[in-house]
Amino acid sequence: MTIAPSSSDKPRILDGKRTASALVDEVRETVEREGLTPGLAVVLVGDDPASQVYVRNKGRRAEACGFLSRQYDLPATTTQADLLALIESLNSDPDIHGILVQLPLPAQIDADRVIQAIAPDKDVDGFHYLNVGRLATGTIDAALLPCTPKGALHLIEQVLGADLSGKRAVVIGRSNIVGKPMASLLLARNATVTVIHSRTPSPAEICRQADIVVAAVGVPGLVTGDWIKPGAVVIDVGINRVEGEDGKGKLVGDVDFDAVAPLASAITPVPGGVGPMTIAMLMHNTLQAARRRSAPSS
């Protein structure tokens, strides 16, 4: 049961960094205990600075987990045919259990075709249609799940447990990467789910009914205090760069943290909330893929 905070209560700040670190420790311990060497291949096309940082961080985490970590840096002029040839070779490489192609890709490459070329059992981003279909139909145990929604659900479960029966959840945003899979995961945990998007009338009124709010639209400060029911668990997936009062850029979420935090029973900060969970879940997916591959056939 979620108890609405009184004026003296403070919301629980869901520390994604600490939770992600604990998850990575669990992955590393499992690798050591089971004698596995999961292999993760990360492909970067071009020299986008943000993508370079993301790829470097993923590689470091993989190495910290005891994985075989390979990074493929390709020039921005790489053709689609060459990228598909690399993916085909990684699909057949027995040392590689997870393949991730960092997005965005240059304009000459069809990102969807590239993603669908990855073997579903190595699709650690969870974007292949087979994994998407498994999630949507509730066949979760056979799927590799998208990392960001999976991380967000883990934070929700820390507060409310794994069974969300009787809870009303609102997901703000209907993207294929976060919004839709997030709704499917919440449904699988028995929550009653509503998805709010740009064509939804009276979104604040709908959101105020929710015990769980997941915001993932990329609009700074969209969710204000009058959107939130006291005692709700608020998960902010948004990462937006805005100009601060000092003229310097800063990261903020889709939730007006200062206005919403006093109402919430638990809330994620930005940065430091869902973001670190995404890489941790990538490591978990890679371990999961390796374990499935090494399991004896029945």
236 has catalytic annotation: no
Tokens read off for 103: 């997005």
256 has catalytic annotation: no
Identify whether the C-beta of residue 262 lies closer than 8 Å to the C-beta of residue 11: yes
Identify whether the C-beta of residue 228 lies closer than 8 Å to the C-beta of residue 208: yes
d(CA 84, CA 113): 9
d(CA 132, CA 216): 18
Residue ranges of E strands in 128-265: 168-172, 192-196, 212-215, 233-236, 240-243, 249-252
> What residue type is 97 in one-letter code?
H
10 has catalytic annotation: no
**Of residues 121, 125, 236, 256, which has the active-site annotation?**
125
Identify whether the C-beta of residue 187 lies closer than 8 Å to the C-beta of residue 135: no
Concatenated DSSP letters of 46-81:
S--HHHHHHHHHHHHHHHHTT-EEEEEEE-TT--HH
d(CA 93, CA 187): 36
Tokens read off for 61: 């985490």
Annotated binding residues for NADP(+), written as ranges, equal 173-175, 239
C-alpha distances (whole Å) from 240 to each of 30, 152, 198, 248, 254 are 35, 17, 18, 13, 8
Catalytic residue ranges: 58, 102, 125
